[in-house]
């Protein structure tokens, strides 16, 4: 157990223990361990190619891991398929937003609303009247009400990222993994986005694990930060400590 958890004395929502994943000779994740307490906002930083997204892929079941364990709500989920992990409560967004391009913006949200807990039979109700208030609220939450009838594939990169966030929130996850949520977002919107993520965490009770390259953003959001470099866990600690950690500094600037 990390010192962070002892301080917080919180229950663990997600725990990765010694997660290892190699692609041929490249070890993308080398015995990475991290813990995400329930209700927290945890940051994951590291230079490009340090294995952050690989860890996300491993947690969400997109790729099988070679060794280690991933526990969610105390259960080992490292052998589950992506769909089962999503239904258990872990939803993610992607660096390059992934939305349903041939559907309208609104339909993207409708098809995501509480989808992970929906029974198959319940899918046969009218789409347009499904959780109308919630759908409109979420579209409003990400400022896309005006684009609701546009094809999602025609939205800008930043708008697609916001739509993907709305879809993820609509799905009512327990744990939301965000892969660079502010990348490609108009700088004037970033502060809004930070506020919205805090609201999602506070008011909706969604635990967040965030990959972010924008240091001011992650220092503002996260209460605890893990830093990866070359697939290994380099440092961890509260934002202040990470900010002043010489090893983190070197990793980013490429010093020996």
Partner 1 sequence: MDGTRALTPKRCLMIAGLLAVGGVAPVLLPAYQLQLTELLLFMVFALCWDLVGGQMGYNSFGNVLFVGLGMYAAAIVQVGLFYDVGLYNDARGGGTDFVFNESQFLTGLALGIPAAALVSGLAAWLLGSLVLTMRGHYFAICTLGLGIAAGQIAAGIPWIGAGSGMLTPNPPESLEHVSLLLYYLALGLAVLCTLTFAWLLSTRFGLTLNAIRDDEDKAEAMGIKTHAAKVTAWVVAAGFLGAAGALYGNMVRFIDPIQTAFAGATIGVWMILMALLGGKGTLAGPIVGAIVFQLTKELFWTYLLGWQRVALGLLIILVAVFFPSGLVGFVRDRKRAEGKP
Residues engaged in binding partner 1 (CB under 8 A): 60, 62, 81-83, 86-87, 91-92, 94, 98-104, 107, 110-112, 115-118, 120, 122-128, 130, 149-151, 153, 167, 171
Q: Given strand 12-23, what is the order of strands in its sheet?
A: 26-37, 12-23, 67-72, 75-76
Per-residue burial over 36-53, b if 16 or more Cβ lie within 10 Å, else e, is bbebbbbbbbbbeebbbb
5, burial (CB in 10 Å: exposed 0-12, middle 13-18, buried 19+): middle
Helices 157-170, 132-141: axis angle to 10 degrees equals 140
Q: How far is the CB of 134 from partner 1 (least distance, A)?
A: 13
CB nearer partner 1, residue 18 or residue 102: 102
90's enclosing H/E stretch is strand 90-92
Q: How far is the CB of 36 from partner 1 (least distance, A)?
A: 18
Question: Which of 36/170 has CB closer to partner 1?
Answer: 170
Task: Work out how close the CB of 172 gets to partner 1 at its nearest, in angstroms, rounded to a whole number.
Answer: 10
Q: Nearer to partner 1 by C-beta: 93 or 214?
A: 93
Are 31 and 232 in contact, with CB atoms under 8 Å apart?
yes
Nearest approach in angstroms of CB 101 to partner 1 is 5
- Choice between 80 and 225, CB closer to partner 1: 80
């Amino acid at each position: 157990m990390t010192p962070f958890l002892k301080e917080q004395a919180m229950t663990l929502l997600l725990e990765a223990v010694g997660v290892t994943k190699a692609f041929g000779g490249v070890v993308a994740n080398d015995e990475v361990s991290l813990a995400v307490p329930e209700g927290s906002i945890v940051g994951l930083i590291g230079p490009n190619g340090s294995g952050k997204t690989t860890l996300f892929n491993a947690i969400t079941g997109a790729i099988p891991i070679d060794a280690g364990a991933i526990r969610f709500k105390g259960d080992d989920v490292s052998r589950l398929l992506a769909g089962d992990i999503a239904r258990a409560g872990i939803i993610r967004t992607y660096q390059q937003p992934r939305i349903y391009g041939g559907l309208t913006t609104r339909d993207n949200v409708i098809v995501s609303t509480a989808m992970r807990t929906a029974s198959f039979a319940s899918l046969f109700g009218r789409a347009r009247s499904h959780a109308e208030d919630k759908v409109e609220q979420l579209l409003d939450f990400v400022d896309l009400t005006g684009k609701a009838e546009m094809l999602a594939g025609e939205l800008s990169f930043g708008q697609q990222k916001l739509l993907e966030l709305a879809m993820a929130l609509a799905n009512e996850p327990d744990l939301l993994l965000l892969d660079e949520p502010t990348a490609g977002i108009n700088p004037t919107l970033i502060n809004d986005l930070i506020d919205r993520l805090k609201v999602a965490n506070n008011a909706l009770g969604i635990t967040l694990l965030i990959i972010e390259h924008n240091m001011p953003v992650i220092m503002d959001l996260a209460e605890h930060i893990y830093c990866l470099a070359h697939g290994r866990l380099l440092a961890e600690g509260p934002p202040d400590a990470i900010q002043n950690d010489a090893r983190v500094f070197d990793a980013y600037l490429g010093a020996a």
